[in-house]
A and B are shown apart, each in its own frame.
Chain A
Amino acid sequence: EVQLVESGGGLVQPGGSLRLSCAASGFTFSSYWMTWVRQAPGKGLEWVANIKKDGSVKYYVDSVKGRFTISRDNAKNSLYLQTNSLRAEDTAVYYCVRETLSSGYFDYWGQGSLVTVSS
């Protein structure tokens, strides 16, 4: 059974940092592109970043470029999102998501980790 379990969310002050983690199991992690998607309270879904199977290629939404870094450790079956210089508008549930083998849509989602940026 495919499982994606996020951790690392919490309350942080504006300008602060958090590192989100996602533990993957039930599939060959190193064979899949992985993605972070976020959802602000009461709002829609926003694609944040993705990373190639071997970690060599990464893409970001413009609003987080230079502040967030996606990474992975295939030996540990883990995905990460380092979030720096956090702003109130980064407050959201952050989902760890698997892209399908053949294409860029999303077949498995974690339960999400809430990041709240507030003083």
Chain B
Amino acid sequence: EIVLTQSPGTLSLSPGERATLSCRASQSVSSSYLAWYQQKPGQAPRLLIYGASNRATGIPDRFSGSGSGTDFTLTISRLEPEDFAVYYCQQYGSAVRTFGPGTKVDIK
């Protein structure tokens, strides 16, 4: 099983600031099969990024993903009020999918 770790656990920032979230895998994620999701309280998660760097339909271009192998990054270039949420990475390089523990982005 591929274990994902995310850092930091919590990121306190102000609207307009840049957010950089990290996701590290215990072994290489084949073909960059890494996705990112956003979850707000009381809601199901929403797909943001797939294939490490491809934005899902309807996702604003302030969201970007990068990385390969074992190290991946989600960047939010300028935080909007609606971006304060929890973000999860997920690998699908193996049949047993796994999620990271999440990074909470809250308002400073």
Contact = CB atoms under 8 A, between A and B. Distances in A.
A89 interface: no
Contacts of A104: 33, 92, 95, 97
A40 to B, nearest CB: 12
B50 interface: yes
Q: Is the interface of A mostly helix, strand, loop or mixed?
A: strand
A47 B98 CA distance: 6
* Chain B interface residue bracket vs A: 20 to 34
* Chain A interface residue bracket vs B: 20 to 34
B1 A109 contact: no
Contacts of A111: 44
Contact of B50 (A46, A95, A103): A103
Question: 6 closest pairs, A vs B, by CB?
Answer: A104-B92, A109-B44, A105-B35, A47-B97, A45-B99, A44-B102
Interface of A: 35, 37, 44-47, 50, 57, 59-62, 95, 99-100, 103-107, 109-112
